[in-house]
Structure 1
Amino acid sequence: MPGTALAAAVVIGMNWRPATAEDAVLLAELASRTSDSEFSAEQVLAFLDSWYVEIADHGLATEAAVAVLPPAKGRSRGYGAWWTRRDADSDRFGTIGGRVVQLAESTPGLRVLQISVPAERTIDADQLRALRFEPAYPLWTMVHDNKTWPDRQLDLPVPLRFARWLDVTPDEFQAAYEHAYIDQRPVEPHTPETWDLLAGSDNFATDLATLAVTPDGQVAGFVLGFHQSAGGIELGPIGTLPSWRRRGVCSALLSAVLLRCRESRSHPISLTVDGESPTRAEHLYLRHGFQVTQRLVTYQVQL
Structure 2
Amino acid sequence: MVAVMTMNWRPATAKDAVFLAELASVVSGRDFSADQASVFLRNWDVEIAEHDAAAVAVHLPTEGRGKGYGAWWVSGGSDRLTEIASRLVQLASATPGLSTLQVARPADEAVGDPRFELAYPLWTMVHDGTTWPRPRTELPAPLRHAQWSDVVPREFQSAYEQAYRDQRVVEPRDVSTWQRSADVSALAVSPDGRVAGFVLGFIEDHGAVELGPIGTVPSWRRRGVSSALLASVLKRCRELRLGPVTLTVDGDSPTGAQDIYLRHGFRITESLVAYQVRL
Distance in 2 separating the partners of 1:37 and 1:207:
26
Alignment of 1:135-150 (within 5 A): 135-150=118-133
TM-score, normalised to structure 1, is 0.83
1:27-63 Cα shifts (integer Å, max 9, x gaps): 33333443476554445445444222111243xxx62
Contact 1:150 1:258 in 2 (8 A): no
Counterpart in 2 of 1:225?
201
Counterpart in 2 of 1:87?
76
Q: Which moved more, 1:264-273 or 1:228-237?
A: 228-237
Counterpart in 1 of 2:113?
128
Distance in 2 separating the partners of 1:182 and 1:106:
24
Counterpart in 2 of 1:72?
62
Unmatched segments (≥5 aa) in structure 2: none
Unmatched segments (≥5 aa) in structure 1: 1-9
Question: Letter of the aligned partner of 2:140 in structure 1?
Answer: P
| Count of matched residue pairs | 277
Distance in 2 separating the partners of 1:249 and 1:197:
23
Give the fraction of aligned pairs with identical amino acids, expressed as a percent. Answer: 57
Q: Is 1:266–2:242 an aligned residue pair?
A: yes
Higher helix proportion, which one? Answer: 2
Counterpart in 2 of 1:56?
49
SS in structure 1 at match of 2:183: coil
| Change in 2 beyond 3 A, CA 1:22/1:263 | closer
Distance in 2 separating the partners of 1:281 and 1:35:
26
Distance in 2 separating the partners of 1:163 and 1:266:
20
Distance in 1 separating the partners of 2:35 and 2:3:
31
Indicate the RMSD between aligned Cα atoms, in angstroms: 2.3
SS in structure 1 at match of 2:140: coil
Shift of 1:153: 6.0
TM-score, normalised to structure 2, is 0.90
Counterpart in 2 of 1:3?
none
| Change in 2 beyond 3 A, CA 1:250/1:152 | closer
Distance in 1 separating the partners of 2:161 and 2:123:
22
Which of 185, 197, 211 is residue 209 of structure 1 equivalent to?
Answer: 185
SS in structure 2 at match of 1:246: coil
